[in-house]
Chains A and B, each alone.
Chain A
Amino acid sequence: KNQVEQSPQSLIILEGKNCTLQCNYTVSPFSNLRWYKQDTGRGPVSLTIMTFSENTKSNGRYTATLDADTKQSSLHITASQLSDSASYICVVSDRGSTLGRLYFGRGTQLTVWP
């Protein structure tokens, strides 16, 4: 069964600190992995997309890593800001279907305190 598991479920950090969010997946055949940021009451916004051949991708203070062999990914946030408070969702796409099916994790709820 294709699944995407994220940890931790929730996380509280102080402003300025770094944090790392984890994602494990069983989606096969694998096409790409995405990290989205979803603010409360809003739609998800894409942060990074990585294919099989990419193992690191950065977008400002966000750095995603991918280990396709172990089927794990992480999202590292550097020097956190209050605006980083949101749900971070790991999404994996499979290969072989015209639609490119997306499998969503439940997200990690990050809260940044001043």
Chain B
Amino acid sequence: EADIYQTPRYLVIGTGKKITLECSQTMGHDKMYWYQQDPGMELHLIHYSYGVNSTEKGDLSSESTVSRIRTEHFPLTLESARPSHTSQYLCASSESRTGDTYEQYFGPGTRLTVT
């Protein structure tokens, strides 16, 4: 079982609210990622980080923002939630060792519903 945690697991919120999805890992990994996944669809990378004070946008355009002030913490924020943001959000982390077969560990996900 990977030591990566996400809270809340489920969130139902009204349009226009500001929300923060929390992600923490205790493995000391430098690389962290946020993915978005709709039912029956593939995961899409929306944000990633190489380490503290490093954040980059992923392949899928997202109105969310992220921060990386501590190695173990990678929160995702939506300033004004909309129904189009309804989705599952998965956080992941991996080592920074050389080579290609680094393992990527996923958290349990946050199921967000915006009404």
Residues of the A chain whose Cβ atoms lie less than 8 Å from the Cβ of B90: 43-44
Which chain A residue has the least Cβ–Cβ distance from B9? A41
Range class of the B interface residue count: 20 to 34
Contact of B100 among A4, A42, A93 (CB under 8 A): A93
Give the distance in Å from the alpha carbon of A87 to the alpha carbon of B65 in the complex.
Answer: 29
Report if B12 contacts A (CB, 8 A): no
Give the distance in Å from the alpha carbon of A46 to the alpha carbon of B59 in the complex.
Answer: 22
Residues of the B chain whose Cβ atoms lie less than 8 Å from the Cβ of A100: 100, 102
Which chain B residue has the least Cβ–Cβ distance from A96? B100
Residues on B lying within 8 angstroms of A by beta carbon are: 2, 4, 31, 40-45, 48, 50, 59, 90, 92, 100-109, 111
Lowest 7 A-B CB distances belong to which pairs? A43-B106, A104-B42, A31-B100, A104-B43, A106-B42, A44-B106, A49-B101
